[in-house]
């Protein structure tokens, strides 16, 4: 019996030791799980990928990064420590950035971005006006253009003129002759800048309309009368080649003017001496008018 009792006691002691040596069971609430790895695909690149001197450069970073600093380099020379870079570079410069951050083990590491090159900035037209604002067929229209180029490149311009929305092929400079056109025609220009590498955006001017040119009287009335009939052909020119009409706005009784501008007056029955004033109006039908005023002094003839 004594031996049996000692055997059972030994068995209980061994069983208890084995239970104490078992590992604790992990649960979903354990706190020793490692943090997720840093996702770097698509990150640590300079944005925008094709910058110009007008761009503000940044580095694409993962959302959960513990950032310490970004050091920018221009042509392998350290430039500035900043989260962004702007205005310190020029066309053709090669840019990289070194990103310093803390990794999962809270140790500082560095990553260098791929190199990018500052691209040419296309030129810009800042102002385009046409002068004069009210041209006639005798006018030459001039295009006044102001440009800007961020790189300081010289800018050349090409001109495309349009009349009534149709392109004109024989006038390609900064001026446009209206001689071959007529009043009422609508004219505008499309101008495109070029800096030697790239074209900038084309700009279209405002429309301007060729105005009517009033006729001009080029004849001179006679100062004397021979015989019993006064005759005078009013001669006028119109640059628009509009058909002209003639009218006597002021004239003595019996004086007439025909469709060709010929003034006639039978003075056989006019009591002399007499002084009369004649005013002629030449009208082109589009608001353009020419005026001529003259005085006739008729003396009584002796004999």
The confidence band for 10, taking pLDDT boundaries of 50, 70 and 90, is low
Within 8 A by CB and 6+ apart from 234, the residues are: 217, 219, 246, 257, 261, 262, 263, 280, 282, 292
What is the model's pLDDT at position 274? 86
Q: pTM for this structure?
A: 0.74
Q: Which residue has the higher pLDDT, 124 or 300?
A: 124
- 28 within 8 A of 95, measured Cβ to Cβ: no
The confidence band for 40, taking pLDDT boundaries of 50, 70 and 90, is low
Q: What is the CATH number of domain 124-209?
A: 2.60.40.10
Percentage of the chain modeled with pLDDT above 70: 85
| Same-fold call for 124-209 versus 216-298 | yes
Return d(Cα 292, Cα 295) in angstroms, integer. Answer: 10
pLDDT above 70: residue 24: no
Specify which residues 183 forms β-bridges with: none
Return d(Cα 13, Cα 137) in angstroms, integer. Answer: 123
Return d(Cα 23, Cα 19) in angstroms, integer. Answer: 9
How many other CB atoms are there within 10 angstroms of residue 2's CB atom? Answer: 6
- 200 within 8 A of 122, measured Cβ to Cβ: yes
Q: What is the CATH number of domain 216-298?
A: 2.60.40.60
For residue 299, give the DSSP letter: P
Q: What is the pLDDT of residues 231-262, one digit of tens each?
A: 999 999 999 999 999 999 999 999 999 999 99
Q: What is the pLDDT of residues 204-232, one digit of tens each?
A: 999 999 999 999 999 999 877 777 889 99
How many other CB atoms are there within 10 angstroms of residue 285's CB atom? Answer: 13
Cβ-based burial of 71 (10 A; exposed 0-12, middle 13-18, buried ≥19): middle
Domain parsing of the chain, residue ranges? 46-117, 124-209, 216-298
């Amino acid at each position: 019996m004594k031996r049996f009792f000692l055997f059972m006691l030994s068995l209980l002691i061994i069983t208890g030791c084995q239970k104490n040596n078992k590992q604790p069971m992990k649960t979903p609430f354990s706190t020793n799980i490692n943090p997720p790895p840093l996702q770097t695909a698509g990150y640590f690149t300079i944005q925008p990928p094709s910058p110009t001197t007008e761009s503000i450069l940044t580095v694409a970073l993962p959302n959960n990064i513990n950032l310490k600093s970004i050091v920018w380099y221009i042509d392998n020379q350290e430039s500035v420590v900043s989260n962004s870079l702007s205005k310190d570079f020029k066309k053709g410069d090669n840019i990289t950035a070194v990103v310093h951050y803390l990794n999962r083990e809270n140790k500082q590491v560095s990553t260098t971005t791929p190199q990018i090159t500052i691209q040419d900035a296309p030129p810009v037209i800042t102002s385009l006006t046409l002068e004069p604002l009210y041209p006639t067929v005798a006018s030459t229209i001039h295009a006044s253009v102001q440009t800007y180029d961020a790189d300081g490149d010289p800018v050349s311009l090409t001109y495309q003129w349009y009349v009534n929305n149709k392109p004109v092929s024989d006038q390609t400079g900064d001026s446009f002759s209206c001689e071959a056109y007529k009043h009422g025609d609508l004219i505008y220009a499309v101008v495109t800048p070029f800096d030697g590498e790239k074209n900038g955006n084309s700009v279209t001017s405002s429309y301007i309309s060729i105005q009517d040119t009033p006729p001009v009287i080029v004849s001179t009335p006679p100062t004397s009368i021979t015989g019993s009939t006064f005759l005078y052909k009013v001669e006028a020119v119109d640059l628009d080649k509009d058909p002209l009409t003639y009218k006597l706005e002021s004239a003595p009784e019996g004086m007439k003017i025909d469709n060709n501008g010929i003034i006639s007056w039978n003075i056989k029955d006019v009591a002399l001496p007499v002084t009369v004033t004649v005013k002629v109006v030449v009208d082109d039908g589009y608001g353009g008018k020419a005026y001529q005023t003259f005085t006739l002094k008729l003396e009584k003839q002796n004999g």
